[in-house]
């Protein structure tokens, strides 16, 4: 059996195909090997946990998972009815405090006006008496003229003398009390008391007897006369006993103590009279009282001002609490988690909403230990994602791990997971906002 040869064109075609394949294989082997460092990861965004600062019942929720929000957008609101009632009460208290402040201000203005009037009158009076001491007669015992001491010095001297006279009066009262308690004075004091009572009884009986004059009925007059005669006899006996008691030592002590007390009282009254005579014009008590009234009004105004400040602080506190019942987004972002429902009571600090900062995207990749030295902080890299084929994005190395770790579990093979790698964190530049958290991405280190 004979074999038929293939036609020559077929043989040539086969040879051409073989030659072409050999050419491409050789070219591929001669082509430089791409040794660029590459890695893969997932686009991430910084999480911002939103929590209320106050406890309360949720009355409104304005966002849901997947919603985009801008900084300042209202996310949810708590019930503020109780705080609003407290705020109204605090504002009413503030108005009351301000009204009280206005009243005390008016009182201060009035006190100042009264002081000005008193001062004007005192100055006019002072002008009239300013040189009176120059013309006053001087006792021969004085070795200095009256004008030598000014009015203020004379007043101070009078106040000192008044204080000394008060001490002398106190001492005289104590001395009299001591003498009256002595046993030797008991008889005289008893006789004295009896005489005082007998004198009063005699005067009463005499008045009653006089009233019966001209009255019909001799019986009334006879009875009044009898009472008068008895009172007269009692008075005679009391006077006799008193006269006898006057000769005792106790009587002398009591009488002397009472005389000392009378002189002490008169001394105090006299110095007070002289002091009042000096305290005229600008030194008058009226002017001093007017000045004191001004100081009291100023103190009252200061206290009212403090009350207003406290009321304002209370209003500001409740207004702040009312504001905190509304929770706003602090950053632009995407609502990734919403764990709050209408009607739910939330507590301060509870994580109820999670925002992803879409304007602050990051990407974490892992590089082999033998390529770790090729990565530098601030290094620019190229990022590609499957969602935008043919388009590249820029990123910058912001953090390089200083310790190696085993490859994360999301690597597909056991061999790969057993290798040690370094985590590299990148900041992704996405001004157009195309990238979203969760997108797989490939990184090429330049």
Each residue's pLDDT tens digit, 152-203? 777 788 889 889 999 999 999 998 888 777 756 677 778 888 988 999 999 9
Domain end marker among 295, 312, 342: 295
Torsion of CA 383, 385, 389, 390, to 10 degrees: 0
Who has greater pLDDT, 337 or 183? 337
| Residues 282, 397 share a domain | no
**Which pLDDT does position 278 carry in this prediction?**
65
Claim to verify: residue 153 and residue 40 sit in the same structural domain? no
Specify whether the CB–CB gap between 179 and 257 falls below 8 A. yes
On average, the pLDDT of the chain sits at 84
pLDDT of residue 199: 92
Maximum pairwise Cα distance, the chain: 203
Length of the chain: 446
Q: For residue 359, give the H/E element and its range.
A: strand 353-368
Model confidence band, residue 412 (pLDDT cutoffs 50, 70, 90): very low
Tell me: do 194 and 287 sit in the same domain: yes
Residue 147 has pLDDT above 60, yes or no: no
Same domain, 135 and 249: yes
- Same domain? 258 vs 146: yes
Task: Say if 135 falls within a structural domain.
Answer: yes
Q: What is the C-alpha separation between 46 and 68, in angstroms, rounded?
A: 15
pTM of the predicted model, to two decimals?
A: 0.55
Q: How many domains does the chain have?
A: 2
In a domain, 19, yes or no: no
pLDDT tens string 38-48:
899 999 988 89
* Residue 363 CB neighbours (<10 A): 26
**289 and 355 assigned to the same domain:** no
Q: What is the pLDDT of residue 352?
A: 95
Beta strands at 353-368 and 56-61: parallel, antiparallel or unpaired: unpaired
pLDDT confidence bin for 6, thresholds 50/70/90: low
Q: How far is CA 7 from the centre of its chain?
A: 110
Question: Helix (H, G, I), strand (E, B), or coil: what is residue 395?
Answer: strand
Token reading at 187: 């008889």
Same domain, 41 and 139: no
Which DSSP letter does residue 184 get? G
133 belongs to a structural domain: yes
CATH number at residue 433: 2.40.30.170
pLDDT digits (tens, 9 = 90+) for 27-80: 655 555 456 888 999 999 888 999 999 999 999 999 999 899 999 999 999 999
Domain termination site, one of 295, 329, 364 = 295
- Say if CB 281 and CB 125 are below 8 A apart: yes
What's the first-to-final CA gap in the chain, in angstroms?
Answer: 68
Does some domain include residue 377?
A: yes
Specify the higher pLDDT residue, 438 or 327: 327
**pLDDT at position 17:** 66
363 part of a folded domain: yes
Task: Tell me how far apart the alpha carbons of residues 353 and 373 are, in angstroms, rounded to a whole number.
Answer: 40
CA distance 264 to 256: 12
**Rounded alpha-carbon distances, angstroms, from residue 407 to 183, 397, 415, 431, 443:** 116, 19, 10, 31, 17
User: Residues 191, 124: one domain?
Assistant: yes
Give the separation between CA 289 and CA 274, rounded to whole angstroms: 20
Q: Which residues contact 288 (CB under 8 A, 6 or more apart)?
A: none
Per-residue pLDDT of 93-134, as tens digits, reads: 999 999 999 999 999 999 999 988 888 887 777 766 665 666
β-sheet bridge partners, residue 120: none
User: DSSP secondary-structure letter at 130?
Assistant: T
Q: Distance between CA atoms of 94 and 243, rounded to whole angstroms?
A: 78
Asked, for residue 395, whether it belongs to a domain, the answer is yes
**With the C-alpha atoms ordered 136, 140, 146, 152, is the resulting torsion angle positive or negative?**
negative
**How many helices and strands in the chain, by DSSP H and E?**
9, 13
- The answer to whether residue 202 sits within a structural domain is yes
Q: Residue 390: its pLDDT value, please?
A: 86
Q: Pick the residue with more confidence: 22 or 183?
A: 22
Instruction: Indicate if 357 and 239 belong to the same structural domain.
Output: no
From 275, 295, 315, the end of a domain falls on 295
Do both 283 and 378 map to the same domain?
no
Give burial (CB, 10 Å; 0-12/13-18/19+) of 367: buried
Q: What does the pLDDT read at residue 410?
A: 53
pLDDT at 9 over 60: yes
In a domain, 401, yes or no: yes
With a CB cutoff of 8 Å and minimum separation 6, the contacts of 179 are 185, 253, 254, 257
What is the tens place of the pLDDT at every residue in 353-406?
999 887 789 999 999 888 888 899 999 999 999 989 889 999 999 999 988 887
pLDDT on residue 21: 67
The reply to whether 280 and 362 lie within a common domain is no
On whether both 291 and 355 belong to a single domain, the answer is no
State whether residue 146 is helix, strand or coil: helix
Domain with 124, as residue range(s), is: 120-295
Tracing tokens 């030194």 back to the chain, one arrives at: 283
Q: 119, 290 in Cβ contact below 8 A?
A: yes
196-224 mean pLDDT: 87
């Amino acid at each position: 059996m004979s074999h038929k040869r293939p036609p020559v064109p077929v043989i040539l075609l086969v040879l051409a195909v073989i030659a072409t394949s050999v050419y491409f294989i050789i070219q591929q082997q001669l082509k430089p090997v791409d040794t660029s460092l590459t890695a893969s990861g997932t686009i991430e965004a910084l999480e911002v946990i939103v929590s209320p600062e106050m406890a309360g019942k949720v009355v409104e929720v304005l966002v849901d998972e997947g919603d985009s929000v801008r900084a300042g957008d209202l996310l949810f609101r708590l019930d503020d009815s109780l705080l609003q009632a407290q705020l109204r009460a605090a504002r009413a208290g503030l108005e009351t405090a301000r009204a009280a402040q206005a009243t005390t201000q008016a009182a201060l203005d009035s006190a100042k006006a009264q002081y000005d009037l008193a001062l004007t009158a005192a100055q006019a009076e002072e002008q009239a008496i300013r040189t009176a001491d120059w013309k006053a007669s001087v006792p021969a015992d004085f070795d200095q003229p009256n004008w030598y001491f000014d009015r203020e010095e004379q007043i101070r001297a009078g106040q000192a003398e008044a204080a000394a006279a008060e001490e002398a009066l106190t001492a005289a009262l104590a001395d009299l009390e001591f003498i009256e308690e002595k046993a030797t004075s008991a008889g005289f004091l008893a006789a004295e008391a009896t005489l005082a009572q007998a004198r009063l009884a005699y005067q009463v009986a005499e008045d009653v007897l006089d009233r019966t004059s001209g009255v019909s009925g001799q019986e009334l007059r006879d009875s009044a006369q009898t009472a008068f005669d008895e009172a007269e006899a009692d008075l005679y006996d009391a006077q006799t006993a008193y006269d006898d008691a006057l000769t005792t030592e106790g009587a002398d002590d009591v009488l002397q103590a009472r005389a000392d007390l009378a002189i002490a009282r008169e001394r105090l009254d006299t110095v007070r009279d002289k002091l009042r005579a000096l305290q005229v014009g600008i030194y008058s008590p009226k002017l001093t009282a007017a000045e004191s009234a001004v100081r009291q009004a100023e103190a009252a105004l200061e206290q009212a001002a403090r009350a207003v400040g406290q009321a304002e602080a209370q209003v500001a506190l409740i207004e702040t609490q009312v504001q905190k019942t509304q929770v706003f987004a602090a950053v632009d972002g995407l609502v990734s988690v919403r764990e709050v429902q209408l009607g739910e009571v939330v507590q301060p600090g509870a994580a109820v909403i999670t925002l992803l900062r879409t304007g602050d995207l990051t990407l974490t990749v892992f590089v082999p230990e033998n390529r770790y030295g090729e990565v530098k902080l601030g290094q620019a890299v190229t990022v590609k994602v499957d969602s935008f084929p043919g388009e590249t994005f820029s990123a910058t190395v912001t953090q390089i791990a200083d310790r190696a770790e085993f490859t994360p579990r999301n690597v597909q093979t056991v061999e790969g997971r057993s290798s040690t790698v370094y985590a590299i964190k990148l900041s992704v530049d996405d001004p157009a906002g195309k990238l979203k958290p969760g997108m797989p991405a490939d990184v090429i280190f330049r």
